[in-house]
Amino acid sequence: MKKIGELLVEQGKISERDVERTLLAQSEMGDMFGQVLVKLGLVSELDFAQVLSAQLDMPLCAASDYPEEPVQLDGLARDFLFSNTVVPLSSDEQGVRFAAAVPQDPFLGKALRMALDRPVSIHLGLESDISRALQGHNLDEAEEGEDELHDQFAGQTDDEFIEHLRDLASEAPVIRLVNQIIHRALDMGASDIHIEPFEDGLQLRYRVDGVLQEYPDAPPPGLRAAIASRIKLLSNMNIAEQRLPQDGRIMTRVKGHELDLRVSTIPTVHGESIVMRVLDRESIRLSLTDMGFSEDTLSRYRELLARPHGVLLLTGPTGSGKTTTLYASLASLDSDHLKIITVEDPVEYQLQGVNQIQVQAQIDLTFARALRAILRQDPDIIMIGEMRDTETAQIGVQSALTGHLVLSTLHTNTAAGAITRLEDMGVERYLITSSVNGVLAQRLVRNLCNECREPVQLSDEAIRHAGLAPFMPTGHNTIYQAAGCEHCMHTGYRGRSAIHELFALDDAIHREIMSGADATDLHSAARRAGMITLYEDGLRKVAAGRTSLEEVLRVTQDQNEADAASPPAGVEVDLEQPVSA
């Protein structure tokens, strides 16, 4: 019989080098070869199980083979099931059927037959499926486990309390459960994982394409302390501190993907609420052409990027992709002939040829302090993760005035609002007009699922009132709306792309700024000069069938009133009028 490693190499799942690395890791970890392969992320659990199934000539249990209700067996300890990753599938006069992650283990079959004194058959199962089925066996004890846990903690010293938490976090079922939560985020393409304790139990939610989705199979409430302890242990937090917010970071490899998890915990009345931001280094797109830019906007944005000095700002709320666009902008520049330095909090992705500085407030390495040091490093381009305070903004503007191109972000709703935000931060108007080249506002809209999107016929009146008329091909009145299918998890959307509003500062805008114009006046002046707004850029994607009108309205609802108040030439927008098919 060929070894499992040889079979995987023959099928092109792994390389000979991967086999060597796995054998080396196996000598340190002590697990079986296949388990080490999966933990290292070199193969998926399913790929390995399929090869093992062929090697053992044993069928692989499907998810539908697992019973909805736990099969209760007298004489078989729950701890034995967990420690051996085995779960009963059915029990009848013929005997008992089990699914096991390691069915070829001779000890397992012998132990089960001795414990039950009945015929036993063992089949191959995915470890994740078995662990999910075992949660049902754990549920009854977990329901009352929380109260018992508090009773156990009551008489413990601090050292005993910490040791108890470490023991909880190190139990195999808890390790597997936390791994499953993280693996599922990758499978779903989630950007955030939310584990929230409430009076009636734990709530598990994933943010997919910017929208939170609740996962139905939440962990049992009795495991809340164990799950929190496990995550805090992985992210190097104080495992015993449950009264104060904490931040940490987990670097891991899952199914061949390098994942960087930014972990935040806050205390609530029912326990610690945990949020993990998922950064998948494998899926990051660092090309401006992949960011969803319209051709005219991208052309003008590249012109601003090509200028030798000045400030170029990106604005938008948290999670609107500002940092990713900044990274893509830097990646488009010639780092071989330009000195590029960034100051970030945190450094999300490492860029080839770019000097990146991580802000560390605990040692007083702030944005402002790092910027002052950077100017002595002879940079051509400086990227500031965010202009958070007056000192950082002023140093950034001064850097632009002394011959550097400065890229940064600001939290404002509109592109024009960045100008008044700089004024609020103490930057004089004449410095703004002398240094700022332009402002790019950005939002992310969900793309319609190509498998299930539905056409909608709009009347001419509906097209006119929605503002779609300038962007619809002559004679066409069809747009698309979300439906929902198994390919998009019944949301109607798959993936996201950006919409943009580019506010370039020319002589006319300079005069408006110096005259004391507010954000609304600046926005109106830019529109009169032909600026395409976020809403209108979204409408272009609606007309192209890439997103829905409802999605654009959802994302740009803070823009619509201002846009309707001062439409550019040829565009009428009346958002009070409902859009109807």
**What 3 state SS string does 44-74 have?**
CHHHHHHHHHHHHCCCECCHHHCCCCCCCCC
Per the model's pLDDT, the better-predicted residue between 570 and 498 turns out to be: 498
Burial letters for 272-311: b for 16+ Cβ neighbours within 10 Å, e otherwise? bbbbbbbbbeeeeebebeebbbbeebbebbeebbeeebbb
> What are the CB-based long-range contacts (under 8 Å, 24+) for 395-399?
395/368, 395/371, 396/311, 396/371, 397/311, 397/422, 397/427, 397/431, 397/432, 397/435, 397/436, 399/371, 399/375
Amino acid at 98: F
Question: Two tokens at 235?
Answer: 């992210």
| Cis peptide leading into residue 346 (ω within 30°) | yes
Question: Two tokens at 66?
Answer: 């697992």
Strand order in the sheet with 211-214: 211-214, 201-208, 190-198, 271-280, 257-268, 246-254
Model pLDDT for residues 110-129, shown as the tens digit of each residue:
889 888 888 999 999 998 88
Strand order in the sheet with 95-100: 86-92, 95-100, 120-124
The answer to whether the beta carbons of residues 482 and 448 sit under 8 Å apart is yes
pLDDT of 542 above 90:
yes
251-253-258 Cα angle (round to 5): 75
Phi, psi of 108 (to 5 degrees): -65, -50
142-to-26, 221, 232, 239, 267 alpha-carbon distances in Å: 33, 7, 20, 21, 21
DSSP annotation of 218 reads: P
* Radius of gyration of the chain measured on its C-alpha atoms: 28
The CATH number that domain 288-446+496-544 falls under is 3.40.50.300
Q: How many whole angstroms separate alpha carbon 339 and alpha carbon 380?
A: 5
**Residue 143: per-residue pLDDT:** 47
Amino acid at 481: Q
**Residue 581: per-residue pLDDT:** 35
565: pLDDT confidence band, cut at 50, 70 and 90? very low
pLDDT of 148 above 80:
no
Strand order in the sheet with 436-448: 355-358, 340-344, 381-384, 405-410, 310-315, 436-448, 493-504
The dihedral region occupied by 545, where left means phi > 0, alpha psi between -120 and 50, and beta the remainder, is left
pLDDT of 30 above 80:
no
DSSP annotation of 125 reads: -
Using the Cα atoms of residue 142, residue 145, residue 149 and residue 152 in order, give the sign of their dihedral. Answer: negative
- Return the closest-CA partner of residue 142 out of 43, 244, 206, 224: 224
pLDDT of 322 above 50:
yes
Amino acid at 73: L
pTM for the model: 0.67
Residues 6 or more apart from 174 whose CB is under 8 A from it? 168, 223, 226, 227, 230
**Residue 3: per-residue pLDDT:** 83
- Give the domain 4-136 fold: GMP Synthetase; Chain A, domain 3 (3.30.300)
Domain extent listing, the chain: 4-136, 171-280, 288-446+496-544
Phi, psi of 250 (to 5 degrees): -120, 125
The answer to whether the beta carbons of residues 197 and 268 sit under 8 Å apart is yes
pLDDT of 133 above 60:
yes
Q: What is the mean pLDDT of residues 22-33?
A: 72
- Give the domain 171-280 fold: Beta-Lactamase (3.30.450)
Model pLDDT for residues 388-443, shown as the tens digit of each residue:
889 999 999 999 999 999 999 998 888 999 999 999 999 999 999 999 999 999 99
Q: How many whole angstroms separate alpha carbon 467 and alpha carbon 571?
A: 6
197-to-83, 190, 221, 230, 472 alpha-carbon distances in Å: 27, 20, 8, 15, 48
Per the prediction, the chain carries an average pLDDT of 84
Amino acid at 318: T
The answer to whether the beta carbons of residues 268 and 275 sit under 8 Å apart is no
559: pLDDT confidence band, cut at 50, 70 and 90? low
